[in-house]
């Protein structure tokens, strides 16, 4: 199997969205509309990635930074392609790009009950932040 990792473009949207929908553990919202993802990609050029196997999108991840910290969202690998190092390869590539851009820490959000993903994130070097609580404000509907 030769899986290619490349930058996500808005042309990948339908394939990526279908992958996210098929993956438990990815919480989709209105922010993931085509327009929302187009805006995210244009604000963070080259950071979000897809993994492609023989023309099929089998992995995807959103990544961006605000000039201070990096953020990862919606990492997903197709069930048919898990446990082959694709998730790790996607994360290593985005961390490397963040590092090149002068960002030295990268956060992410994961559902508390997604034990498989928490194990994965530990394996690729993330540490759980037990001293923090996530808080959000719904600014507009």
Ligand X SMILES: CC(C)(COP(=O)(O)OP(=O)(O)OC[C@H]1O[C@@H](n2cnc3c(N)ncnc32)[C@H](O)[C@@H]1OP(=O)(O)O)[C@@H](O)C(=O)NCCC(=O)NCCS
| Residue 120 found at the interface with ligand X (CB under 6 A) | yes
CB of 94 to ligand X, least distance (A): 13
| Residue 62 found at the interface with ligand X (CB under 6 A) | no
| Residue 85 found at the interface with ligand X (CB under 6 A) | yes
Please enumerate in sequence order all residues whose Cβ is within 8 A of that of 64, keeping only pairs 6 or more positions apart, or say none: 40, 43, 44, 47, 48, 70, 71
**Closest by CA position to 26, among listed 125, 129, 116, 98:** 116
| Residue 71 found at the interface with ligand X (CB under 6 A) | no
**What gap in Å lies between CA 100 and CA 98, rounded to an integer?**
5
Binding string, residues 16-45; x marks residues near ligand X by CB under 6 A: -------xxxx-------------------
Strands in the chain per DSSP E: 3-7, 49-53, 56-65, 70-77, 106-108
Size of the site for ligand X (CB under 6 A): 21
By the criterion CB under 6 A, which residues form the site for ligand X? 23-26, 75-77, 82-88, 110, 114, 116-117, 119-120, 123
């Amino acid at each position: 199997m030769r899986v290619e990792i490349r930058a996500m473009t808005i042309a990948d949207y339908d394939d990526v969205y279908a992958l996210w929908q098929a993956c438990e553990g990815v919480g989709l919202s209105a922010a993931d509309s085509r327009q929302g993802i187009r805006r995210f990609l244009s604000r963070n050029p080259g950071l979000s990635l897809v993994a492609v196997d023989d023309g099929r999108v089998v992995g995807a991840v959103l990544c961006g930074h605000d000039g201070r910290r990096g953020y990862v969202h919606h990492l997903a690998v197709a069930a048919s392609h898990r446990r082959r190092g694709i998730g790790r390869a996607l994360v290593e590539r985005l961390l490397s790009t963040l590092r090149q851009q002068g960002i030295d820490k990268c956060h992410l959000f994961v559902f508390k009950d997604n034990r498989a993903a928490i194990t994965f994130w530990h394996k690729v070097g993330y540490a759980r932040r037990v001293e923090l609580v996530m808080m959000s404000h719904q600014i507009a509907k």
